[in-house]
Structure 1
Amino acid sequence: MRVPRTLTAVATAITVVLLAAACSGQVADSPPDEDTSTAESFLDLYVDDGRVVRSDQGGDTVSEGQAYGLLLAVVARDENRFDQIWDWTTENIQRNDGLLAWRWENGSVVDDEPAADADLDAARALVLAGNAFDRDDLREYGIALGDTVLNEMSASTEIGRILLPGLWATTSPHAYNPSYASPVAFAVLADASGDTRWNELSEGTRAATEALLDSNALPTNWATVATDGSVAIAGSANGDGEPGYGYDATRTSIRFAESCDPADTALAARIAAALPDDDELVAEFDSGGGPVTSDQHPIAYAARAAAYAADQQSDAAHADLARMVETAVATPTYYGDAWSALTTTMLTDDTLAGCQPLNASAVETSASSSVTGSFQNPVPEQAASRAVPEHISIPAIGVESDLIGLGRDAVGWIEAPTNFDDVGWYEDGVVPGAIGPAVIAGHVDSPAAPAVFYDLPTLVPGDSVSVSRSDGTTVKFVVTSIQTVEKETFPTASIYAPVPTPELRIVTCSGAWDPNTGHYVDNVVVTAVSV
């Protein structure tokens, strides 16, 4: 449906709006600079004075979340934020034995049991932070926490040493969660401590996970490993219910895909064949691969991207990373946003000490799309394209327009097109066709008539957009979403967060005309991904 507009109003610059920007000849600010990453976005959105808040789950905090915050502070190279998160952790949920209590709510710990994945991730983060920030204290904290994990939450079996999910799982058959095992964390802690038990743990958990995949094509959320080495799928931590592949098990392929050991990545690659190759992927399956929900979640796409990456299907992996981001933007959640940021780093960068399976991808990028924390992995300078966009075509709304460059004015605002029928691209941002969210903008109307983007709000998912460039190439995109957002509360972090594939953000004004300010109150943001 066409959005009504007052054509006699003085329409003005309808371009990228980030904070409290108005459509008035100039647009405040610009898309996030190249030193902004999804890691920083997660920290900004979910960390409150060092506490990682599950804002979509009642506002509590779990040890897993604190560990994710620590890892993402390393990715963001934010020493101050790392210290805040670790300080809150030690003051509020660290137990006397050094392990982390699982859940905190309303000012106190409400579940004192530790969870091995959280403690292992936190230990990894501490060691990596010690290396990144040249801090012996953090490194020693990580080694000590890891030592307690080895002592209290690992067990010897006939197939090797395995990671136990918690202190409660010491009796055979041991509960086993394949997604808790982190080969890279084992390697980081082995290098830092010199303790050979980490190598034993790496080999044993790999053997347990391989045995699990031998008996069931998909990893299940829970399994059991007996002292004699027998492995069986399970419905839950206590064995009840039906076994399934869901929010826990999805992490398995991500953790194994980032490993530097080919034996680990081979396990992640096996999972690719067990997952459907549909564009839309549901979040949970039964143990046989049948869907048990219609819900979608970023971690499902993250997991399949990791499996594809391990299987050297890089194009399919990148497509799923784009779907992961789109799903996270559509439905922001603590867990989805955490794993969107973590997965992109784990698969495309070595900041967390893994061996990124998508590092050698031939995806084009540019210097303007590189990000601190390496959310995006730039190609070598000599391989980067020098092409610039020249023309945009949006057949569904009859737009055929050459593109002009848009910069910033003296106060740092994006310049508006002078002509109401011009379409511009933000030259200081991402080049359309390079990795990241390229910004294209134009007017919605003029004082006398509709302007070039008058019908932009009528686009629907599936509509095509193409951008012709100076090197003779044409980059094709497909519309995936159309949002109307209030300028006063513009969701900068989600709309302009870095993404691992080429995308467009096409922006104009919308909504009611405010005669008091002389501006429209809303913006329309069209997201399109490369195809």
Structure 2
Amino acid sequence: MRQGSRPESPGEPPRRAPSFRTLAWVALFGSLLVAGALRHDDPPQPTAAQAGLRPGARTDPGTAAKGPGPGPLPASAPVRIRIPAIKVDAFLARLELDAEGTLQPPPASAPALAGWYADGTAPGSRGTAVVAGHVDTPHGPAVFHELGALEKGAEIAVDRQDGRTALFRVDAVEVHAKDAFPDEKVYGGSIRPELRLITCGGTWSEKTGYRANTVVYATLSAVR
């Protein structure tokens, strides 16, 4: 698998750039090929109303001026993510790269666990932070099963090791085909603290698994 490149970012740079397209195609796929029995409980898919950024949010990665809201926080590892609207309350594991540069997902044996790309931006710091989780596993629906149901304005809380909680507001929820995944839009740098939540989505194929990824775009709105 190819080693990908991360667009230059004014936020906290990764120490090693993963293949982000590989993340979209493979890292959240895991052992889902054997989970055909779960297809009666398909995850919700984003609607057209959920797509696109709300007025005042940036339209291109890394190009907008800093708007109202809190400034970026110093880097501190996240430990927990809470999304009340879809009843998510999960611990966050560190996600690392393997020897081929592929971001490793949380284990399928821990479906309630999410993870963050530890060599990238910490949630709440300047730049684009990435949190990934399974939509389902052979054990049943997983931590991000309901991600596609999130609406604009929903709150995401990320608890950090420094005792602060970074609060994000959802700007958009979109589904992107894996063969046309918009790397720059999803992972591009930002001068503001932003967050991306990623899981599998779209239609299911018995041969290839999920054909798309559900992506949540969010921006830091408060700190407590």
Q: TM-score, normalised by structure 1?
A: 0.31
Q: Residue type of the partner of 1:473? A: R
Q: Distance in 2 between matches of 1:500 and 1:429?
A: 14
Q: Which has the higher helix share?
A: 1
Q: Which amino acid aligns with 1:521?
A: R
Q: 1:363 aligns with which of 71, 89, 93?
A: 71
Aligned equivalent of 2:89, options 392, 400, 411: 400
Superposed counterparts of 1:420-431, under 5 Å: 420-431=111-122
* Cα-to-partner distance string for 1:195-242 (whole Å, 9 max, x where unaligned): xxxxxxxxxxxxxxxxxxxxxxxxxxxxxxxxxxxxxxxxxxxxxxxx
| Identical counterparts, % of pairs | 37
Provide the residue aligned with 1:21 in structure 2.
25
Alignment of 1:266-415 (within 5 A): 280=55, 323=57, 325=58, 327-328=59-60, 341=63, 363-364=71-72, 385-415=74-104
Q: Distance in 2 between matches of 1:401 and 1:411?
A: 28
Separation in structure 2 between the aligned mates of residue 506 and residue 427 of structure 1, nearest angstrom: 14
Query: Structure 2: which 5+ runs fail to align?
Result: 1-18, 32-53
**1:484 paired to 2:175:** yes
More strand by share: 2
Aligned partners of 1:25, 1:400: CA distance in 2, in Å?
A: 22
Instruction: Measure how far apart 1:386 and its partner are.
Output: 4.5
- Within a 5 Å distance, the mapping from 1:181-220 to structure 2 comes to none
AA aligned to 1:25 is G
- Aligned partners of 2:75 and 2:194: how far apart in 1? 18
Q: 5 Å matches for 1:219-230?
A: none
Q: Which TM-score applies when normalising by structure 2? A: 0.71
Q: Which has the larger radius of gyration?
A: 1
Query: Which is bigger in relative contact order (C-alpha 8 A, separation at least 6)?
Result: 2
2:217 counterpart residue number: 527
The structure 1 segments of at least 4 consecutive aligned residues displaced by more than 6 Å after TM superposition are: none
Q: For structure 1, list consecutive stretches of 5 or more residues without a partner in the other structure.
A: 1-15, 27-278, 281-319, 330-339, 348-361, 366-384
Counterpart of 1:412 in 2: which secondary structure?
Answer: coil
- Deviation, structure 1 residue 363: 3.5
Evaluate the alpha carbon distance shift between residue 524 and residue 493 of structure 1 in structure 2; reply closer, same or farther with a 3 A threshold. Answer: same
Answer yes or no: is the 8 Å Cα contact 1:17–1:490 preserved in 2.
no
- Aligned-partner residue type, residue 363 of structure 1: G
Q: Match of 1:18, SS?
A: helix
Say which of 443, 447, 452 aligns to 2:143.
452
Change over 3 Å in CA distance of 1:509–1:364 after alignment to 2: same
Which SS does the other structure have where 1:461 is aligned?
Answer: coil
3-state secondary structure, aligned to 1:328: coil
Question: RMSD across aligned C-alpha pairs, in angstroms?
Answer: 2.4
Is contact 1:17-1:487 (8 Å) kept? no
Asked if the contact 1:437/1:496 (under 8 Å) is kept, the reply is yes
